[in-house]
A and B are shown apart, each in its own frame.
Chain A
Amino acid sequence: MSTLKTATPSTETHGQHPNPKGIKLPIYMDNHATTPMDPRVLEEMLPYFMEKFGNAASRNHPFGWAAEEAVELSRERIAKLIGANPKEIIFTSGATESDNLAIKGVAEMYREKGNHIITAVTEHKAVLDTCKHLEKFGFRVTYLPVQKNGLIDLDDLKRAMDDKTILVTIMAANNEIGVLQPIAEIGKLCHERGVIFHTDAVQAIGKVPVDVNKMNIDVASITGHKLYGPKGAGALYVRRKNPRVQVVPLIDGGGHERGMRSGTLNVPGIAGLGKACALAQEEMPQESVKLAALRDRLKDSIMSRLDEVYINGSMEHRLPGNLNISFAYVEGESLLMGINDIAVSSGSACTSATLEPSYVLKALGTGDDLAHSSIRFGIGRFNTEAEVDYVADRVVETVVRLRELSPLYEMAKEGVDLKSVKWAAEAH
């Protein structure tokens, strides 16, 4: 999360809040930043630290074979979750590396075919900054706008494509507002025009169905720690046929991963990533229903008790566990401070280094004032109904308290149109 500020849960203050039965504080509800590890994943990983420590590239002894077996099982599990062939899975260190490898790797490989790349303004920085980097080397990048609901307009995409377009990179699910882009439609447009389609799918995989063939995805970024697996273990899906996609490696060396990513494999991490994918595959149908119900419970509980609360992004096309809300007249960071026994993120960045609020929210057309007032809730596998109720109560009471403190709330109640006020922003 580059623009989101994360609250540091602490027990220093708010000792006055009774700890309801069955709730352990602080509550973790920031599952888009990272997810807690599933104990079943850890169990799968543990043997590969000590007794099965071998190098997966050692072909001549049982130590290497045991490691290789774990790696290949993981490859199969990841492939199965996204409808791919195991040979199409390349292991990386995580999402940022996967995005870099996908975009730079395709750009360099297909440079002779064209130099135009299309992405969207709400992408993660791992994609945006990689595209910016390529602009310095003669590539042309189109940054598609998004609609008010956070989705790109497919007509914009069609119009942006030209005969020099080699790559479209659009995320499957947004990390801040959880909106799901029309991936299948984008993939179809790309394939009709012979353009490679990469999707940063780290927030989507394991949460909503992703099928590389049905959705015409050519390259997809995956990471372990967003689906209850380990950090430092990721993968890149690279299509092998219809069309065969090639990427130029970022890291040269021993020729691991079919030459696309050299470096000794992180066997415990890879084993964990595979297990996390297997669990996600098994549990997604029930889990997505449960998470959506918890999310809606949180939303309804907050919105039924507070006025001037706005949801950022489409509710219809959205990850089940995501809720991103702006609380008018209340600054996000102060809200985080008030609910400091709950770990969530804010779209406000009230520091002199970055006065800019979330670029994702701004791209939706959300005003800076409301972007500063936003909170992202990321509900995950281990959250409970009791936690959701506690979070809703704490948020409501803190917003009420801060609005009492807010000159903007007072002015709005007096009927002052805040947009018409001439603000004297001396400090900035």
Chain B
Amino acid sequence: MSYSEKVIDHYNNPRNVGSMDKNNSDVGTGLVGAPECGDVMKLQIKVNPETNVIEDAKFKTFGCGSAIASSSLATEWVKGKTIDEALAIKNTEIVKELALPPVKIHCSVLAEDAIRAAIGDWKKKQDATKPATVQAAQ
């Protein structure tokens, strides 16, 4: 397996590695994949509640170089985007950007899943807090 320069770059210098407090109401956490499949991605976003803009993103990935690169790239891409813009990111764009071979397409699919899972988690938190806010206002 030969890797593209971009995959190697992300592997050697992964962007936005780290973790945020998953209990923070502005943070959405996506954990996708499974250890027995050889890939697990954790992608976290921090969303500005006023603007719905993703202000920060962090990841940690257990997986091959392409999986690490896909999730590293995903954090770069979601940063500065609104939730809706981030949801529009397609795995095929990741494949293209990283020049992933066919056997590594599943890594990009997982990265897209991770973005969606993180956003889904954030949305769930917003929905859970909203009725409470409304009640408090009444």
Q: B34's contact among A332, A338, A428, by CB below 8 Å, is which? A: A428
Per the 8 Å Cβ criterion, residues 127-175 of A in contact with B are none
Find out whether the CB atom of A331 lies under 8 angstroms from the CB atom of B37: no
Residues of B within 8 A of A369 (CB): 35-36
Q: How far is the CB of B133 from chain A (nearest CB, A)?
A: 29
Q: Closest CB of chain B to A420's CB: distance in Å?
A: 12
Q: How long is the Cα–Cα vector from A333 to B1 in the complex, in angstroms?
A: 10
Known: A357-B38, A369-B35, A423-B35. A8 touches B64 (CB 8 A): no
Contacts of B38 in A (CB 8 A): 331-333, 348, 350, 355, 357, 368, 372
Binds A, one of B48-56, B80-88, B97-105: B97-105
Determine whether A418 belongs to the interface, using a CB cutoff of 8 Å to chain B. yes
Can you name the residue of chain B whose Cβ is closest to the Cβ of A12? B8
Q: Give the one of B36, B61, B102 with max A CB within 10 A.
A: B36
Residues on the A chain within 8 Å of B32, using CB: 424-427
A330 and B62 contacting across the interface, CB-CB below 8 Å: yes
Q: Is A367 an interface residue (CB 8 A)?
A: yes
Asked if A352 and B105 sit within 8 Å, CB to CB, the answer is yes
| B128 on interface, CB distance cutoff 8 Å | no
**Complex interface: chain B residues within 8 A of A418 (CB):** 35
Residue B106 lies at the interface, judged by CB distance under 8 Å to chain A: yes
Measured between beta carbons, the chain A residues less than 8 angstroms from B35 are: 367-369, 372, 408, 418, 423
* A interface: dominant SS: loop
A353 touches B1 (CB 8 A): no
Q: Which of B29-45 contact A (CB under 8 A)?
A: 31-42
Interface centre among A368, A405, A406, A418 (most CB of B within 10 A): A405
- If A352-B103, A405-B68, A424-B117 touch, whether A331 touches B34 (CB-CB below 8 Å) is no
CB of B34 within 8 A of CB of A351, answer no
**Among A12, A338, A348, A407, which residue has the most Cβ atoms of chain B within 10 A?**
A407
Q: Is the CB of B14 within 8 A of A405?
A: yes
A207 within 8 A of B: no
What total of chain A residues lie within 8 Å of the partner, measured CB to CB?
A: 39
Known: A410-B19, A423-B34. A333 touches B64 (CB 8 A): yes
Picked from A5, A348, A372, A427, the residue with its CB within 8 Å of the CB of B110 is A427
Is A428 a contact partner of B1 (Cβ separation < 8 A)?
no
Q: How far is the CB of A325 from chain B (nearest CB, A)?
A: 17
Asked whether B2 is an interface residue with its Cβ less than 8 Å from the other chain, the reply is: yes
The complex places the Cα of A331 from the Cα of B64 at a distance, in Å, of: 6
Q: Once the chains bind, are A329 and B62 in contact (CB under 8 Å)? A: yes
* In the bound complex, CA of A357 to CA of B109 (Å): 20
Per the bound structure, the CA–CA distance linking A404 and B61 in Å amounts to 9
- Are A333 and B65 interface neighbours, CB within 8 A? yes
Given the complex of chains A and B, what is the CA–CA distance between A357 and B38 in angstroms?
Answer: 9
Instruction: Say yes or no: A8 contacts B103, CB within 8 Å.
Output: no
Highest count of chain A CB atoms <10 Å: which of B35, B60, B104: B35
Give Cα A337 to B8, complex, Å: 9
From B5, B31, B65, name the one whose CB has the most chain A CB atoms within 10 angstroms: B65
Segment 103-134 of B: residues with Cβ below 8 Å from A: 103-107, 109-110, 113, 117
List the 3 closest A-B pairs by CB distance, nearest first. A368-B36, A423-B34, A369-B35
Residue ranges of B at the interface with A (Cβ–Cβ < 8 Å): 1-3, 5, 8, 11-12, 14, 17, 19, 31-42, 60-65, 67-68, 102-107, 109-110, 113, 117
